[in-house]
Amino acid sequence: MYTRRILRRTRTGATLLAAALLVSGCSSGNATSSASSASSAAKEETAVLAPLPRSTPEALTPYYEQKPAWRDCGVPGFQCATLKAPLDYADPSAGDIRLALSRKKAEGPGERLGSLLVNPGGPGASAIDYLQSYAGIGYPKEVRARYDMVAVDPRGVARSEPVECLDGPEMDAYTQTDFTPDDEKEEGALVAAYRKFAEGCGADAPKLLRHVSTVEAARDMDIVRAALGDEKLNYVGASYGTLLGATYAGLFPDRTGRLVLDGALDPSLSARQLNIEQTAGFETAFTAFAQDCVRQSDCPLGDRNTSPGEAGRNLKEFFAKTDAQPVPTGDADGRQLTESLATIGVIAAMYDEGAWPLLRKALTAAMKENDGSGLLALSDSYYERDADGEYANLMFANAAVNCLDLPPAFDSPDQVGDALPDFEKASPVFGEGFAWSALNCTYWPVAATGEPQRIEAEGAAPIVVVGTTRDPATPYRWAQALAGQLAPARLLTYEGDGHTAYGRGSRCIDSAINTYLLDGTPPPDGKRCS
């Protein structure tokens, strides 16, 4: 579920299938930030995230009084530290977890503005990797001059007591499982794969698995804020990072500083609604890709006379062929390009239009030259599989957080079958796979502790919510919905392709966000950039 961005300077964002992320002009518009699809009745029925008391409970005081012991990270210019947080906020005596932090101190000149926390999404993406490989060196120099750039890997992620579920060979088998079953035997194999994945996660971290929710991660961020000596939290979150940031604002509105939520999620939706709306988002992105592809001489899906619908059918036909006969890849571990790996390879390139030429080349090789290595490489990038056949913990943490945050989308394979028409209507290309992938949380070893809820954050400082009109992974409607819920929100729109907008080439977007971060002046609500 959700998204993550790949094939850029770094990867960010949430994953639906895996656990199952130019110089532009701008203008100020009169668009409202309310979500047009949300009725008053629905608003009344959805719970609202309540803020926590302003005073710190006595049992948590030792956590809030910590001071990080910064040390060299081994990465030039960056320091690292660890902090403790309670495993269970309801029972702090039950033990601690260790949170890993990294920072790059403000470089000057100008008055220091405190710390700026960054999170790339996932859930499960490493904020520290993002900081050290991109944000700490690639954010605008004016921002880096006045903020200490800081990242904390959320609980269960990367360096913060990571959840582990399967080893490399087991993950290879998992990623090759057919997630569009054609008969009862294949359906049973898919269910068995989900069960094995879930059992592996439960065996690795039975206690931690009950305490990796977004609410708990947001509470951890408040401990980090206090340890850094900041009165308020300044934060840039992308993709799932928007849910984390919005949750913080809902819990601690009086401690919320300058928040940028880029590629926003709608916290009021159920798991099934999130999945089906994200399915439609990927169809929108594929349509844009197909329209561009058929204008290029190297497009394997058709020519200038080919409609996006026809291009999609051609792609589906290719997927069906790989299901019947996988494509050779030359992989050292003997993996061939199956339907599931081919589909993930295409999905991976939907996150960033800059990857479209690479996708055309990979599709051409697979469809016309019987060489699946390009699509396999895209799939491996999505899953964070390295050359040695080892996987980062992204997929494991992704499932752990998603399955705890919301009740499962489906209770049984039969429910998936009933929902297939809706998913295939949302995306003729990807709908079937997305529907079956939403079955993964059905077999999770611990029950969900969260529920769909509105986040209003009454009393918080202005929050900038950013949405991209053709974002595949976090559909634009979600940004409208979140901006409509957050009382202090300002909706900033990028009319374009790709997942998230800040730092992706739009001077209009970047200027609006930089001004907000540096001066505290948010863009006018409804501002649009193209």
* Active-site residue, 471 included: yes
* Active-site residue, 292 included: no
Are 426 and 276 in contact, with CB atoms under 8 Å apart?
yes
Q: Which of 499, 506, 510, 525 is catalytic?
A: 499
Helix residue spans in 48-135 (DSSP H) = 61-64, 127-130
Round to whole Å and give the CA distance between 427 and 285: 10
Written as six digits, the tokens of 312 are 């999609």
Round to whole Å and give the CA distance between 306 and 337: 26
Q: How far is CA 350 from the centre of its chain?
A: 14
* Dihedral sign computed on CA atoms, order 471, 472, 477, 483: negative
Query: In 3-state terms, what secondary structure has residue 442?
Result: helix
Q: Of 108, 106, 103, 105, nearest to 130 (Cα)?
A: 103
Round to whole Å and give the CA distance between 126 and 181: 32
Q: Which of 471, 497, 510, 525 is catalytic?
A: 471
Q: How far is CA 405 from the centre of its chain?
A: 14
Per-position DSSP letters for 278-338, written without gaps between them: HHHHHHHHHHHHHHHHTTSTT-TT--TT--HHHHHHHHHHHHHHHHHSPBP---TT---B-
Contacts 24+ apart (CB under 8 A), 309-312: 309/428, 312/286, 312/287, 312/428, 312/429
Round to whole Å and give the CA distance between 343 and 493: 29
Are 145 and 179 in contact, with CB atoms under 8 Å apart?
no
Q: Which of 102, 126, 239, 379 is catalytic?
A: 239
Are 60 and 92 in contact, with CB atoms under 8 Å apart?
yes
Are 284 and 476 in contact, with CB atoms under 8 Å apart?
no
* Active-site residue, 388 included: no
- Largest interatomic CA distance in the chain: 69
Strands 147-152 and 256-262: unpaired
Round to whole Å and give the CA distance between 79 and 134: 15
Per-position DSSP letters for 386-425, written without gaps between them: -TTS-B-SHHHHHHHHHHHHS--S-SSHHHHHHHHHHHHH
Are 277 and 485 in contact, with CB atoms under 8 Å apart?
no
Q: Of 120, 126, 117, 121, nearest to 147 (Cα)?
A: 117
C-alpha angle with apex 502: 500 to 504, nearest 5 degrees? 85
* Number of other CB atoms surrounding residue 34 within 10 Å: 14
Round to whole Å and give the CA distance between 215 and 176: 33
Task: Tell me which residues are annotated as active site.
Answer: 239, 471, 499
